[in-house]
Amino acid sequence: MIIAIDGPAGSGKSTIAREVAKRLGMRYLDTGAMYRTATLLALEAGLVPDRIPETAALAAEAPIRFVERPDDLTRVFLGDREVTDEIRGPLVSQHVSAVSADPAVRAVFTERQRSEAALGDVVLEGSDTGTVVFPGAELKVYLVASVEERARRRQSQLEAQGILQPLDRLVADIGARDAYD
Ligand code: DC
């Protein structure tokens, strides 16, 4: 069975998808983390903002691994290197929309998500999982929340990592990302 949970940034996709997966004993796949990891690689390789189309080749080879932790955020690794916090930081957040808009990058991750799902029951979360990746998913959920509420949640998540950001800045960032996404 495939459950696709969709919605804009900060709407609660990760929290809900993780909980649903836990309660139903299904695997959980954070597709946004894939795009975020590709963005980190692109930034480190100097491909942002002028050579974004070259990211797809890096993404195709990227050894992205997820390690589930009960009652905690899924840890994300690139090979042996943990990137969980880095991919949620402001730099990656600022550029992920542009990287994830690249059609070749999308093709790489759409394929990877379909292969993952072929292994068995899975809860996927991400902004095209119910429309493009699995339009035929048995259950599709679209979550909504106001920009202000989403900015407040992002602020607490960042605060937990020791990063302080003013709310009005996050409201502006999320509004811009909504428009771009
Ligand atoms: O859900 P998130 O904030 O981690 O997503 C990060 C970005 O990646 C966001 O700009 C939307 C994009 N994304 C996407 O285009 N397709 C997905 N399946 C998941 C995320």
Residue 154: CB within 6 Å of ligand 1?
no
Maximal CA-CA distance, the chain: 43
Q: Which atom of ligand 1 is nearest to the CA of 14?
A: 1
**pTM of the predicted model, to two decimals?**
0.90
Find the mean pLDDT for residues 86-91. 91
Which atom of ligand 1 lies closest to the CA of 133?
A: 18
**Residue range 116-136: mean pLDDT, rounded:** 94
Torsion of CA 180, 6, 109, 137, to 10 degrees: -140
pLDDT score at 181: 76
**How many angstroms separate the alpha carbon of residue 164 from the centre of ligand 1?**
22
pLDDT tens-digit map of 30-68: 999 999 999 999 999 999 999 999 999 999 999 999 998
Rg of the chain's alpha carbons, rounded to an integer? 16
Q: Is the CB of 129 under 6 A from ligand 1?
A: yes
Ligand 1 atom 1 nearest Cα: 32
Q: Where are the alpha helices (DSSP H) in 8-102?
A: 13-24, 31-44, 55-61, 90-100
User: Which two three-digit tokens encode residue 152?
Assistant: 């407040």
pLDDT value of residue 180 = 81
